[in-house]
Amino acid sequence: MDSLTMCMLCPRACGVNRNAGIRGLCGADNTVWVARAALHQWEEPPISGTCGSGAIFFTHCTLGCVFCQNRQISRREDIGAPVTISRLSEIFFELAAQGAHNLNLVTGTHYTPQIEAALRQAKAKGLTLPVVWNSSGYEKAETLQRLDGLIDIYLPDYKYYSSYYAEKYSHAADYPETAREAICEMLRQTGAPVCGADGILQKGVLIRHLMLPGLGGDTAQVLRSIAEQWGGHVLVSLLRQYTPFGMDDWPELNRKLSDAEYSQAVEWMQSLGLTGFIQERESISESFIPAFTGEGV
């Protein structure tokens, strides 16, 4: 993959030669590592449906949030198993055969060239499932353009409005403007959300915002920004599933979200006329974090 010789795929633009075995800031070289490929029931209803989403969790990440619930696979250690482009294409069909409503590519930005090749290979062989690009939102629009026509549903995070919090908790002061530009490109590619007769999302953008304790003001700004820029052209998922573990170095985040904090955010979301999804209190659980044992790889 030529684009890995001086890698500029993500906003970090570290420029290393991943083809020479050098790891980028994401933690990956040119080998694709998959930590899990299985039906996943814990996405939003129009993604998971009744049968589950065919989720492929890629190892490593371009962002590095201090509170990452998938930190087992998002850091520099290779977790799961290495896969070739052909094997990745095979996994797509295996998940389809299991009854997946869609293919759900989780945190694959740093493997965009390989994923692009695998999708083209699979589609040439008759793959018809909708494809979900499930990401942190920390994306370059130019990299997303490589996926135009291959991705049906974009499922990005919009984590922060404030560059201060973005730097403090994700080491990426440019996150807010970068995510907004990325979401604009995603929406350009998919258009407004479209669901099938069964209620399963077929195309569109569903923006996630994970509330963090004490950052209600930033959440309000995120929701207002979504309403002002994209309004009824996107769906919104307001997440309350933040689960603190191993957060001793970040005492302000070492607690669960309060009912009052989340209720206030739900009111803001409704007052802004945003359409989407909220979570019940039961969603606060580490049980929602799957086991990354290389299943299905």
Which tens digit of pLDDT belongs to each residue from 211-268?
999 999 999 999 999 999 999 999 999 999 999 988 999 999 999 999 999 999 999 9
pLDDT at residue 286 tops 80? no
User: 3-state class of 57 per DSSP?
Assistant: strand
Ramachandran area for residue 85 (φ above 0: left; ψ -120 to 50: alpha; else beta): alpha
Residue 280: per-residue pLDDT: 80
Domains of the chain: which residue ranges?
Answer: 2-281
User: What whole-number distance in Å separates Cα of residue 87 and Cα of residue 285?
Assistant: 33
User: What whole-number distance in Å separates Cα of residue 227 and Cα of residue 180?
Assistant: 12
What is the band of 284 on the pLDDT scale with cuts at 50, 70, 90? low
CATH topology of domain 2-281: TIM Barrel (3.20.20)
Q: Say what the pTM is.
A: 0.96
User: 3-state class of 226 per DSSP?
Assistant: helix
Residue among 236, 243, 242 nearest 211 (CA): 242
User: What whole-number distance in Å separates Cα of residue 184 and Cα of residue 231?
Assistant: 12
> Residues 6 or more apart from 218 whose CB is under 8 A from it?
160, 161, 162, 165, 212
Count Cβ atoms below 10 Å from residue 238 Cβ, excluding itself: 22
